[in-house]
């Protein structure tokens, strides 16, 4: 297994979904160095599911990728929820917590990830909220570049907005390669230029996933299909530019058998091995 930049949880991960639970309790494939869950889906579970989950977290490296922090919301942060996350992370030895650079609530919950306006006012609102979360959790968190389908009131580019948030909040980046590809098609920008403009030292780990082509100029980020070649090529470029970083495969529905998923994990391992020597050289320089 490649050890460089391992962040102490391994190099290749898989998003754990409830449908995979029985199979993974029997055997976690050798290709899987870490697993990722949405804490909201497991936080309040009791009984058999809680015991099964604890069995997995005791034996494997886990990270958490949140769904409902709503970091861009105009409403105050749910401090009690964040405190409950801290307890959950300690109980299950969660290596890192990530969330979306978006919002999903106002006076009510929208159950979808809405785009934060790319404005200076939004930066001034969001960065202190990320700092507040980090203060409560007593750890840095990672913020994911998200797919979006509209940019209301845009004053800055997505890249300028993202980089400024990372710097002002002093947080890490969850680099979602598929989201870069999706946005580059939907909004007509150069995916490699966006990728190259991100700060290497902020990357905690990455995501790859599949999507759905609604039209030639509209892709929907579904996590319901195989990763396509242009996204693999973009991941290859990411390792070339930023060095090898831990990378996780997401699959939310149309979930195939584990032996099919491991074929995609093998691709990640292969791309990481390709760039391993150059990454080590950069680290030593």
- Strands 218-220, 247-249: pairing is unpaired
On whether the CB atoms of residues 208 and 13 are closer than 8 A, the answer is no
Please give the C-alpha separations between residue 190 and each of 152, 197, 218, 269, in angstroms, as whole numbers. Answer: 20, 11, 15, 26
Q: Give the model's pLDDT for residue 3.
A: 34
The predicted pLDDT at position 169 comes to: 98
Average pLDDT over residues 162-184: 97
Q: pLDDT by residue (tens digit) across 64-101?
A: 999 889 888 888 999 999 999 999 999 999 999 999 99
* CB-based contacts of 93, cutoff 8 Å, min separation 6: 57, 58, 62
Q: What is the pLDDT of residue 142?
A: 98
108, pLDDT greater than 60:
no
d(CA 15, CA 22): 14
Q: Among the listed ranges 27-31, 154-158, 198-202, 209-213, which one has the minimum average pLDDT value?
A: 209-213
Residue with tokens 């929208």: 110
Q: Is the pLDDT of residue 138 over 60?
A: yes
Give the number of other CB atoms < 10 A from CB of residue 120.
12
Place 5 in a pLDDT band, splitting at 50, 70 and 90. very low
- Taking alpha carbons only, the member of 234, 244, 264 closest to residue 14 is 264
> Which pTM was predicted?
0.92
Give the Cα separation of 191 and 181 in Å (integer): 6
């Amino acid at each position: 297994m490649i050890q460089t930049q391992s962040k102490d949880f391994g190099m290749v991960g898989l998003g754990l979904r409830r449908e995979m639970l029985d199979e993974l309790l029997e055997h976690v494939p050798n290709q899987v160095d870490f697993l990722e869950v949405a804490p909201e889906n497991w936080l309040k579970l009791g009984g058999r599911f809680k015991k099964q989950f604890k069995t997995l977290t005791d034996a494997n490296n886990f990270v958490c990728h949140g769904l409902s922090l709503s970091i861009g919301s105009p409403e105050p942060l749910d401090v009690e929820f964040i405190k409950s996350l801290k307890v959950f992370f300690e109980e299950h030895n969660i290596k890192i917590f990530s969330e979306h650079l978006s919002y999903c609530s106002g006076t009510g919950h929208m159950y979808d990830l809405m785009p934060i306006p790319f404005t200076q006012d939004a930066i001034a609102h969001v960065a202190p909220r990320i700092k507040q979360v980090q203060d409560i959790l007593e750890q840095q968190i990672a913020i994911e570049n998200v797919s979006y389908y509209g940019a209301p009131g845009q004053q800055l580019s997505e890249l300028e907005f993202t980089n400024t948030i990372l710097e002002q909040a002093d947080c890490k980046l969850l680099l979602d390669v598929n989201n870069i590809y999706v946005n580059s098609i939907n909004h007509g920008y150069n995916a490699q230029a966006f990728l190259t403009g991100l700060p290497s030292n902020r990357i905690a780990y990455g995501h790859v996933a599949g999507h759905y082509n609604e039209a030639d100029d509209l892709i929907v980020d579904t996590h319901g299909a195989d990763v396509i070649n242009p996204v693999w090529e973009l991941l290859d470029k990411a390792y070339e530019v930023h060095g090898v970083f831990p990378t996780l495969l997401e699959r939310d529905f149309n979930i195939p058998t584990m032996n099919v998923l491991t074929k995609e994990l093998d691709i990640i391992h292969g791309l990481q091995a390709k760039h391993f020597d150059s990454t080590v050289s950069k680290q030593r320089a």
